[in-house]
Amino acid sequence: MSFRHLLCLNDFFGEELESFLIDVAQFEAERSSTFNGVVAMFFPSTGVHNRQLFEQAALKLGLQPKMLPVEALEKGEYLKEVARSLTEWADVVVVEHPDSNIAYGLAENDAIPVINAMSDDGYPPEVLSVLNSLSETQGWHWPRYLFVAPVGNLAVEWFCASESIGFKFTQSCPDDLRVAGAYWETEIGDAIKRADVVIVGPHGEHAKRLTDYQITARLLDMAPEDVQLIVCPGVVPGQELSDAALAHPSFVGHDF
C-alpha cells in the first residue's frame, strides 16, 4: 500500500504527525502541477461547510469531485466491498458521517485512500488545517494551546495531536466535560494567561453549563500579547464568544 488513510489523528505515532505536516508544507511550496483523478465525496445534505471546503480543495488540485449522498453507505452492505467497487472510477474517498465506523469500514481492506471529513468522534482535517496554517506564521515552533469547549470530536483530535507532536495542550471546561487524560483547568481566567493560541469550539448541548467559559475581549486582554484566537466551525457568536472577542486584534479571521 503506497498511501495512508486519514481517519483519526490518534493513528499517527511518535513524530509521524509533525513529519506529515512538514511534507504538506513542502508540497504546497513546490507544487507546480495538478493531479488527474476523481474524489468520491459522501456528505449529508446539511454538511455545507465541509462539503464546500473539500470540493474547492479537490478542484484546486485538479481533481474532479463527485458528490454522493452519505445515506448510500447506510444500506447494510459490506463497506470494504463498497470501497473495492469505488476503485473502478474513483481515486480517493471522503466521507462525513456521525458514525466513524463508516469511514473505518471503507478503509478496512486498504483498497482506496479514505478521509474521515468529520464524525462524532473524529475531525482530523480541521485540526490539520489549523496546525498547517499556524506553521506558516510560527514555523515549527509549537506554542501553548488552550482549547475552550467540552469533550467532542474537536477536543479529542486536538488532544491526540498534542500527544503526537508534544505541544502543551490545556482544556478549560468543567471537570466532567474534559477529554480523558488531558490536562485541564476549570478557571478560564487563569488558563488564558498561559495560552499562546486560544481555540474556541462549539458548546453544543452543554451551552447552558458553559456560559462562564464564553471568550470575551476582557479575557483575551489577559492573555499574552501575541495570543491568537481561532474559532472552530459550529461556534455561535454571542454564545461561545462575544461580538467584542471577534473584533479583538487576536482573532485570526474566519478563513484561517
Specify the pTM. 0.91
Q: Are residues 112 and 146 in the same domain?
A: no
Q: Which residue is it, cell 506529515?
A: 20
**Looking at the domain assignment, is residue 82 inside a domain?**
yes
208 and 112 part of one domain: no
Region of residue 10 (phi > 0: left; psi between -120 and 50: alpha; otherwise: beta): alpha
Whether residue 193 is found in the same domain as residue 233: yes
3-state secondary structure the chain: CCCCCECCHHHCCCCHHHHHHHHHHHHHHHCCCCCCCEEEEEECCCCHHHHHHHHHHHHHCCCEEEEEEHHHHCCCCCHHHHHHHHCCCCCEEEEECCCHHHHHHHHCCCCCCEEEEEECCECHHHHHHHHHHHHHHHCCCCCCEEEECCCCHHHHHHHHHHHHHCCCEEEECCHHHCCCCCEEECCHHHHHHHCCEEEECCCHHHHHHHHHHCECHHHHHHCCCCCEEEECCCCCECCCECHHHHCCCCECCCCC
**Domain contains 131:** no
- 176 shares a domain with 89: no
Q: How many domains does the chain have?
A: 2
**Domain CATH number, residue 97:** 3.40.50.1370
pLDDT, tens digit (0-9, with 9 covering 90-100), for 169-210:
999 999 999 999 999 999 999 999 999 999 999 999 999 999
Q: Is residue 53 part of a domain?
A: yes
Domain annotation covers residue 92: yes
72 and 154 both lie in a single domain: no
Range of 227's domain? 142-246
Q: Please report the pLDDT score of residue 133 as a whole number.
A: 87
Does residue 60 sit within a domain?
yes
Residue 256 is predicted with a pLDDT of 61
Question: Is the domain of 177 the same as that of 95?
Answer: no
Structural domain contains residue 224? yes
Cβ neighbours of 36 (radius 10 Å): 10
The answer to whether residue 133 sits within a structural domain is no
Which pLDDT score is estimated for 206? 96
Q: Are residues 16 and 110 in the same domain?
A: yes
- Name the stretches of the chain with pLDDT < 50: none
Last residue of a domain, one of 102, 118, 134: 118
Identify which of 161, 126, 122 has the alpha carbon closest to the alpha carbon of residue 7: 122
